[in-house]
Structure 1
Amino acid sequence: GSKESILNYKLKSKIDRYYCLEIELETGRHHQIRCQLSHMGWAIKGDLKYGYPRSNPDAGIHLHAWRITFIHPVKKEKISIEADTPDEVVWNAFSKQQDRTTSD
């Protein structure tokens, strides 16, 4: 049977027809974010497998883990790793918009 898949999301910003969501997974199923967003009618930009109509020029999809947090398996300490968004037009627009909101 199917397994429960839970994620929480928050709308961070919107530019034209694109939305920037902050997503926190409670379960970690294969393709969970892609599948659940597509099911809600929000296919990820460039994600042909889950319903976006066009591919991105680099064949990637606009899904980015800016922060990953986990418990170290030996030390049992919380580890958090962050990464900047890719240098790309849509990501840059969201970053600029975020910079404006945080500086206000």
Structure 2
Amino acid sequence: MAQATIIERFQNFSPDGVKTEEGNRAITQFLCVTNQSLNMVNCPGFINMIQVISSKLVLKSRTHFMRYEVSKLYEEYERRLMMELRQVENIAMSFDGWSDSSNRFEIEF
């Protein structure tokens, strides 16, 4: 594999570059899996951590993650789940609820 040019390296971190997309996906996964508020991306400590990890990654706003990144991740997981479910003959599901305050979601219209 040939070494990437300087221009190719910088394009990786352009607004639609490969590394930017990978970074946004990883941040979205972190926020969703750890049940964090999307406001976390506005937290100075979180911003500092991202800058230390990759100074070239420009952190997007909470609104961007809410409108675009969470939807993309949901669609990706939904596709993967549907592909897996197409391969099974039988399935059993069970749901359990508990009173953990972090497990309560309210939708306001």
TM normalised by structure 2 equals 0.19
Compare the two structures and name the one with the higher strand fraction.
1
Indicate the structure whose relative CO is greater, using CA pairs within 8 Å and at least 6 residues apart: 2
Which structure has the greater CA radius of gyration?
Answer: 2
TM normalised by structure 1 equals 0.20
